[in-house]
Amino acid sequence: FNAIVSESSSMQTSTLAALDRSHLIHPVASFREHEELGPIILKSGRGAYLTDHHDKELLDAFSGLWCVNTGYGQESVVRAATEQMQRLPYATGYFHFASEPAILLAKKLVDISPASLQHVYFTLGGSDAVDAAIRYITHYHNSIGKPAKKHFISLQRGYHGSSSVGAGLTALPNFHFNFDLPLPTQHYIPSPYPYRSELPDDAAIIAASVHALRDKVAELGSDQVAAFFCEPVQGSGGVIVPPRGWLKAMQQACNELDVLFVVDEVITGFGRTGPMFACLDEDVQPDLMTMAKGLTAGYAPMGAVMMSDRVYRGIADGAPLATVVGHGQTYSAHPVSAAVALEVLRLYEEGGLLENGRAMEPHFAAGLRALLSHPLVGDARSRGLLGALELVADKGSKARFAPELKLHDRIFQAAYKHGLVFRAFGDNILGFAPALCFTQADFELMFARLKALLDEVLEQPEVRQAL
Ligand code: PMP
């Protein structure tokens, strides 16, 4: 891999790489492995394309980290940020201060989100949006006189960020290992995973999830369960697309069980699955909803948690007047991020990006499905512009490749060589999240490169043997 990266290595790049290895801690990485491999330093981006420090062009089929939904180089977003920085770079939300973009953004989010959601708290990203949701939920139940409701349920393979408590709702082993998680109050039910389900059809998969939730709540006691968290499509767990109707069924079950229903739209929000939020597809009305990523399309850090009037009022009225709700951050509702978000939202709507994303969906879905005939590909799935290929050693038994083969590393290296960026998960799932600005030509190039790199990996003797 280093050989590929250092082919056209310049002095400056190698100096930077050495500094990176010595000082920069990377998210969700093996520290030791990173010391060996070093970074791939990115220099610039335009539309769907990135340029790295060796002037290699890469087609980004992952929108950075499922966030740059507008594509790179949107001048109007840069102008919005610049103007806000010049006018007022910072305004605290403490002591009842506010800024115009923050207020307008809160109102805008209320307008475009499910009708159940009326109030917004802004964070810096998704993990702290989940963390804020957990804290507000705890406060709410204590406020309304249900202090025993302390248990949280989420899905196996769910991802809800890496805050010290939220990482326990994330049901992925790396986020628990050596972090003393999950907490005794954190529980999981099986993921609605059609490709790996033995159930006969979608209705049975939905019924099984509802059943598992009811069983878990019965086991813990409904008076002990605070909330159920889920993603409409599971992202970091391997782009697992539940059957249509699943989200609505889970909402109904939560309502009946007196359990708050929290939808984490950090990935699925802002056109990623077609509508502005995946919830809107099935008329789902969550009690709380978290978001980040596409909110600012990665141009500035920002996330949010929205809540229903019922939850808000429970907190507001549950304590004597003027009792402070002690949750806050210096950069909550940062005016520059809010100005960026307002312009990004304008691009989705008036700029036609949502519409383009929806128009491109058939090309994306068909391109993935066409690869089902490839010897390595067992499953192709997508919703909107969020999709995955699952590679298997045996299509009949759906057996995974042995971990020692390190197929994801082989794929990642081949992808870099072929100039394509996507996510190669450890369990042989390839995740894709192209920007909403992708054209048909971008998709043709993406799938040509993808096919070429899969063919190349297939020709490696160790991979051939494993089939
Ligand atoms: N929730 C979900 C569903 C996510 O996908 C992510 C990020 N991938 C997060 C929460 C955490 O967001 P962040 O990385 O911005 O903290």
CATH of the domain at 436: 3.90.1150.10
Q: Establish if 141 belongs to a structural domain.
A: yes
Average pLDDT score over residue span 182-196: 98
pLDDT given for residue 320 in this prediction? 85
Q: Establish if 29 belongs to a structural domain.
A: no
List Cα–Cα distances, 390 to 2, 10, 240, 283, 400, in angstroms: 27, 37, 10, 30, 9
Strand 377-383, strand 288-291: pairing: unpaired
Q: Establish if 6 belongs to a structural domain.
A: no
Distance 159 CA to ligand 1 centre (A): 7
Q: Is residue 386 scored above 70 in pLDDT? A: yes
Distance 193 CA to ligand 1 centre (A): 20
Residue nearest to atom 4 of ligand 1 (CA): 266
Q: Establish if 307 belongs to a structural domain.
A: yes
Edge-first strand order for the sheet with 420-421 is: 42-46, 49-52, 57-60, 420-421
Q: Is residue 262 scored above 50 in pLDDT? A: yes
- Ligand 1 atom closest to 158 (CA): 3
Are 107 and 61 in the same domain?
A: no
Residues 191-231 pLDDT 10s: 999 999 999 999 999 999 999 999 999 999 999 999 999 99
Q: Is residue 6 scored above 70 in pLDDT? A: no
- Ligand 1 atom closest to 292 (CA): 15
pLDDT given for residue 109 in this prediction? 98
Which of 349, 382, 409 is a domain's end point? 349
Separation of alpha carbons 60 and 58, rounded Å: 6
Are 324 and 422 in the same domain?
A: no
Are 180 and 248 in the same domain?
A: yes
Query: Which residue from 122, 266, 299, 329 has its CB within 8 A of the most atoms of ligand 1, so it is best to mutate?
Result: 266
Q: Establish if 32 belongs to a structural domain.
A: no
Distance 116 CA to ligand 1 centre (A): 22
Q: Is residue 151 scored above 90 in pLDDT? A: yes
Are 287 and 370 in the same domain?
A: no
Give the 3-state secondary structure of residue 272: coil
Strand 225-230, strand 151-155: pairing: parallel
Mean pLDDT of the chain: 96
Q: Give me the number of domains the chain comprises.
A: 2
- Ligand 1 atom closest to 303 (CA): 15
Q: Establish if 236 belongs to a structural domain.
A: yes
Distance 394 CA to ligand 1 centre (A): 32
DSSP output for 439-461: -HHHHHHHHHHHHHHHHHHHTSH
pLDDT given for residue 313 in this prediction? 97
Give the contacts of 387 (CB within 8 A, at least 6 positions apart). 239, 364, 365, 368, 380, 381, 431, 432, 433
Which of 349, 371, 405 is a domain's end point? 349
Question: Taking every pair of C-alpha atoms in the chain, what is the biggest distance, in angstroms?
Answer: 71
Q: Establish if 10 belongs to a structural domain.
A: no
Which of 349, 384, 405 is a domain's end point? 349
Are 425 and 342 in the same domain?
A: no
Are 49 and 174 in the same domain?
A: no
Distance 155 CA to ligand 1 centre (A): 15
In degrees and rounded to multiples of 5, residue 262 shows phi and psi of -115, 120
- The parent domain of residue 241 ranges over 75-349
Are 162 and 44 in the same domain?
A: no
Separation of alpha carbons 296 and 308, rounded Å: 23
Residue nearest to atom 13 of ligand 1 (CA): 126
Average pLDDT score over residue span 344-349: 98
Pocket of ligand 1 (CB under 6 A): 125-127, 130, 159-161, 231, 235-236, 264, 266-267, 292, 303
Distance 123 CA to ligand 1 centre (A): 12
Are 315 and 371 in the same domain?
A: no
| CATH number assigned to the domain comprising residue 125 | 3.40.640.10
Q: Please give the share of the chain, as a percent, with pLDDT higher than 70.
A: 98
Are 204 and 311 in the same domain?
A: yes
Average pLDDT score over residue span 301-329: 95
Query: Which residue from 127, 247, 291 has its CB within 8 A of the most atoms of ligand 1, so it is best to mutate?
Result: 127
Residues 76-114 pLDDT 10s: 999 999 999 999 999 999 999 999 999 999 999 999 999
Count other Cβ atoms within 10 Å, centred on residue 349: 14
Q: Establish if 320 belongs to a structural domain.
A: yes
Average pLDDT score over residue span 23-47: 96
Distance 290 CA to ligand 1 centre (A): 9
Give the 3-state secondary structure of residue 464: helix
Q: Please give the share of the chain, as a percent, with pLDDT higher than 90.
A: 96
Distance 332 CA to ligand 1 centre (A): 17
Q: Is residue 368 scored above 90 in pLDDT? A: yes
pLDDT given for residue 413 in this prediction? 96
**What residues are paired with 287 via a beta bridge?**
none
Indicate the pTM of the whole model: 0.96
Model confidence band, residue 1 (pLDDT cutoffs 50, 70, 90): very low
Average pLDDT score over residue span 333-345: 98
Q: Is residue 4 scored above 80 in pLDDT? A: no
Are 146 and 218 in the same domain?
A: yes
Give the contacts of 146 (CB within 8 A, at least 6 positions apart). 223
The torsion region of residue 188 among left (phi > 0), alpha (psi -120 to 50) and beta comes to beta
Distance 423 CA to ligand 1 centre (A): 15
pLDDT given for residue 319 in this prediction? 82
Residue nearest to atom 6 of ligand 1 (CA): 161
Are 181 and 279 in the same domain?
A: yes
Q: Nearest 5 degrees, angle CA 133-CA 234-CA 315?
A: 15
One-letter amino acid for residue 177 of the chain: F
**What residues are paired with 20 via a beta bridge?**
none
- Ligand 1 atom closest to 301 (CA): 15
Average pLDDT score over residue span 455-462: 97
Q: Is residue 115 scored above 80 in pLDDT? A: yes
Query: Which residue from 162, 293, 299, 386 has its CB within 8 A of the most atoms of ligand 1, so it is best to mutate?
Result: 293
Helix, strand counts (H, E) of the chain: 15, 15
Distance 160 CA to ligand 1 centre (A): 6
Distance 87 CA to ligand 1 centre (A): 31
Q: Is residue 449 scored above 70 in pLDDT? A: yes
Are 162 and 295 in the same domain?
A: yes
Residue that has been written with the tokens 């971990």 in this structure: 403
- Ligand 1 atom closest to 27 (CA): 14
